[in-house]
Amino acid sequence: MYSYTDFDKSFLASRNAQFRTQVERRIAGHLTEDEFKPLRLMNGVYLQLHAYMLRVAIPYGTLNSSQMKMLAHLADKYDKGYGHFTTRQNIQYNWPELRDIPDMLDDLGTVEMHATQTSGNTIRNVTADHFAGASADEIADPRPVAELIRQWSTDHPEFQFLPRKFKVAVTGSESDRAVTRAHDIGLRMVERDGVAGFEVIVGGGLGRTPMLGKVIADFLPREDLLPYLEAIVSVYNLLGRRDNKYKARIKITVHENGLEKIRDLVNERFVEIKARFSGIDQEVFKTIQAQFAPPSFKEGDTAIFEKSRASDPVFRAWSDTNLHAHRADGYDIVTVSIKKHGATPGDVTADQMRVLADIAARFGHDELRISHEQNVILPHVHKSDLPEVHCILKANGLGTANIGLISDIIACPGMDYCALATARSIPIAQQIATRFDELKLEHEVGDLKIKISGCINACGHHHVAHIGILGLDRAGVESYQITLGGDHTETAAIGERAGPGFSSDDIIPAIERLIAAYLALRKAQDETFIETYRRLGLTPFKAALYPESAEQSHAA
Amino acid sequence: MPRSFTPKVITANALLKGDVVYLTNADTWTRNLSDAVLLTDEADADLRLLQATAQTDVVVGAYLVDMQSGPSGPEPLYFREAFRRKGPSNYAHGKQEQF
């Protein structure tokens, strides 16, 4: 993992000290709210429905055990004993008081963490594949690249007042677990003739105008990355619209100007910028890369893993769903489900955070990851340790065996917390998970992604869900609209709207009808929901969702 | 005939704690909606909002919101304000802990 240099430490300390005086001036009445708001947002502080909210960056989702323990400490000392992991690999605290936030930031600084640029019209926390550095299908570890981008973008003087927020994601694997096609810039690490480079995708995004990113450069040599990114963002900074907030993201800039024009402008700008980088970025990159060397993997007998699978059906079920192939022999990647049936997706108590930190320290080479799917990853666990790890997880409410299944739902905070929301998300997720657990159907249903957003801004990624749910306010009543057929992976697709919305009472039965239709329609047990949907299209699913109108059209 | 005016309450978030507050008849702030003043005259509501907004050292983001008169004071007409009055639905946090 990356360790802060003296420069990083003093930069963060002075930034935190600056914010502390800004808070003091606001409280003393020397700053108005209009003056203070952009300053607090730059430091991750929102004012939500019931309280302030602090969004802490977890750069590229990577944490060590002492950092996780610090997150637990913040939850206990300044919040209500828990934190919420988000779809951008961050953590949010829902109940801090304004006076305490500078202390929270100082506490975070002691473990080399911050909340800088987790909001505002800047380059936000860079996200990456949550299996980075561990997955068997990886070409290269994307985290050194993400760290380089974090350093370059933090307090970048040209990019503090962009037309709108700007999100970058990096993957080093063929399987896209970082949703690169739905980011302002998506980077896919690729190789051509043995040379490492990037496929650069630009102009993706969800929100009210969902768009998949377009390839602006199919092969960018690795050493050109920062000047090329700087060229893209500076072209956007000048060309992006500032007259209308809803048309200000780079996806609209690309859409309105056309990819060719943007590419030409970026290439022109790149030529101007490139020489200025003088290779210093590559020297920095080398020192970063050295700090992401793989841990020294142990060798050992894995017989106990097989033995436990044979003797313990609960362990077997968990290891069937929550493990992923590791690049090292004898190792697995563990996804710890933060989606216990009926619980709030992404919420972890301080005690659970400490348990996860201890497991990482004892069994996981001191590494943890947060996924955009709001789960926690132990990226390096030897198979011989898995039975004990599972036992500890299970004892602490973290043993749910549901990764990739119907109850592994992404849900934004929605109107239970968020000032922008138009409907609640969390209770819908809780009810779907509880219902399918009661029906004992989720393993039968198999691979399925449900994602729920409580407003059109789509923090819950509903557009790229197999079943997306969007909560809206229809004349003062919560209404839930379903989209079908979205895909967040390397075969990314935006889902199709199924029809009119459902009330909060009707949405769960509607999902049940949809699942019943899938089970009846699938060709074989191993045909997944999305495969069935792609084969048959919207029509039969629409008929299941709206049986009355289907009957009417049949009669007519 | 003057056009009908839906009664309103002035609400905001407290500067220090960030929680939901309502304007009382004495131009102070309460955390309990029952103690809020229900404004039935549009001109009065607009004036009171201006005065409330000026209290920048106490509250943030004051606005007028539609309410109806109930047995124990003003009651929200829409679900967003009902959640602001009560707190989130996934935990018994927020105002539901106090009232």
Per-residue pLDDT reduced to its tens digit, A292-319: 999 999 999 999 999 999 999 999 999 9
Q: Is residue B1 part of a domain?
A: no
User: A340 in contact with B at a CB cutoff of 8 Å?
Assistant: no
Confidence band for A476, pLDDT divided at 50, 70 and 90: confident
Cβ <8 Å between B84 and A476: no
Cβ <8 Å between A476 and B78: yes
- DSSP state string for A212-274: --EEEEEEEEGGGHHHHHHHHHHHHHHHS--S-GGG-SHHHHHHHH-HHHHHHHHHHHHHHHH
Confidence band for A320, pLDDT divided at 50, 70 and 90: very high
- β-pairing, A331-336 vs A323-325, is antiparallel
Residue A62 and residue A369: Cα distance in Å, rounded?
5
User: Strands of A214-221's sheet, edge to edge?
Assistant: A127-128, A168-171, A185-192, A195-202, A214-221
Per-residue pLDDT reduced to its tens digit, B34-49: 999 999 999 999 999 9
Cβ <8 Å between A50 and B79: no
Q: Is residue B62 part of a domain?
A: yes
Q: Which of B17, B84, B90, B99 to mutate to test the interface with A (most CBs of A within 10 A)?
A: B90
In A388-436, DSSP assigns E strands to: 410-411
> What is the 3 state secondary structure string of A155-182?
CCHHHCCCCCCECEEEECECCCCCCHHH
Confidence band for A554, pLDDT divided at 50, 70 and 90: low
Shortest CA gap B85–chain A (Å) = 9
User: b/e per residue, B36-50, with b = 16+ CB within 10 A?
Assistant: bbbbeeeeebeebbe
Shortest CA gap A15–chain B (Å) = 21
* C-alpha A407: how far from chain center: 17
Per-residue pLDDT reduced to its tens digit, A522-548: 999 999 999 999 999 999 999 999 998
Q: Is residue B3 part of a domain?
A: no
Cβ <8 Å between A47 and B18: yes
Per-residue pLDDT reduced to its tens digit, A326-361: 999 999 999 999 999 999 999 999 999 999 999 999
For A476, which residue in chain B has the nearest alpha carbon? B78
Asked if residue A551 has pLDDT above 70, the reply is no
Cβ <8 Å between A33 and B61: yes
Q: Which of B16, B20, B79 sits opposite A98 (nearest CB)?
A: B16
Counting Cβ atoms within 10 Å, is residue A493 exposed (0-12), middle (13-18) or buried (19+)? Answer: middle
Are the beta carbons of A112 and A8 closer than 8 angstroms?
Answer: yes
Domain count, chain B: 1
Residue A305 and residue A389: Cα distance in Å, rounded?
11
Angle at Cα A126 formed by Cα A334 and Cα A165, nearest 5°? 135
Q: Chains A and B: how many Cβ contacts under 8 Å?
A: 75
* Coil/strand/helix, residue A3: coil
Q: Which two tokens stand for residue A163?
A: 């037309």
Per-residue pLDDT reduced to its tens digit, A187-205: 999 999 999 999 999 999 9
Q: Is residue B35 part of a domain?
A: yes
- DSSP-assigned letter for residue A405: S
Are the beta carbons of A382 and A300 closer than 8 angstroms?
Answer: yes
Residues 6+ apart with CB under 8 A from A259: A202, A203, A214, A216
Cβ <8 Å between B60 and A49: no
Q: Which residues in B lie closer than 8 A to residue A477 (C-beta atoms)?
A: 79
- ipTM beyond cut 0.90: yes
Cβ <8 Å between A98 and B17: yes
- How much is the mean pLDDT over chain A? 96
Q: Is residue B91 part of a domain?
A: yes
H helices present in chain B, as ranges: 42-53, 79-86, 95-98
User: A26 in contact with B at a CB cutoff of 8 Å?
Assistant: yes
Angular region, B40: left φ>0, alpha ψ -120 to 50, beta rest: alpha
Cβ <8 Å between A426 and B80: no
Asked if residue A550 has pLDDT above 80, the reply is no
Q: Is residue B20 part of a domain?
A: yes
User: Strands of A376-382's sheet, edge to edge?
Assistant: A62-64, A367-370, A376-382, A331-336, A323-325
- How much is the mean pLDDT over chain B? 94
For tokens 């209500």, the residue is A80
- DSSP-assigned letter for residue A125: -
The residue segments making up the domain with residue B16 are: 8-98
Cβ <8 Å between A97 and B16: yes
Sign of CA dihedral A53, A54, A58, A64: negative
| Mean pLDDT calculated for residue range A102-118 | 98
* C-alpha A59: how far from chain center: 11
Q: Which two tokens stand for residue A128?
A: 């990456």
Among the listed residues A428, A449, A51, the one whose alpha carbon sits nearest the alpha carbon of residue B90: A428
Cβ <8 Å between A476 and B61: no
For A344, which residue in chain B has the nearest alpha carbon? B90
Residue A27 and residue A272: Cα distance in Å, rounded?
45
User: A193 in contact with B at a CB cutoff of 8 Å?
Assistant: no
Per-residue pLDDT reduced to its tens digit, A38-77: 999 999 999 999 999 999 999 999 999 999 999 999 999 9
Q: Which residues in A lie closer than 8 A to residue B95 (C-beta atoms)?
A: 50
Residue A415 and residue A362: Cα distance in Å, rounded?
39
- DSSP-assigned letter for residue A556: -
Per-residue pLDDT reduced to its tens digit, A435-470: 999 999 999 999 999 999 999 999 999 999 999 999
A424-A428-A431-A432 Cα dihedral, nearest 10 degrees: -170
User: A415 in contact with B at a CB cutoff of 8 Å?
Assistant: yes
Q: Which of B18, B56, B61 sits opposite A97 (nearest CB)?
A: B18
A157-A159-A161-A166 Cα dihedral, nearest 10 degrees: -150
Q: Which of B19, B60, B61 sits opposite A50 (nearest CB)?
A: B19
Q: Which residues in A lie closer than 8 A to residue B93 (C-beta atoms)?
A: 50, 80, 94-95
Q: Is residue B73 part of a domain?
A: yes
Q: Is residue B2 part of a domain?
A: no
Question: Hey, which residues does A331 pair with through a beta bridge?
Answer: A382
Cβ <8 Å between B89 and A27: no
Largest CA distance in chain B: 47
Instruction: Name all contacts of B67-70 with Cβ < 8 Å and 24+ positions apart.
Output: B67/B7, B67/B8, B67/B9, B67/B36, B67/B38, B68/B7, B69/B7, B69/B38
Q: Which of A47, A52, A99 sits opposite B61 (nearest CB)?
A: A47
Cβ <8 Å between B18 and A33: no
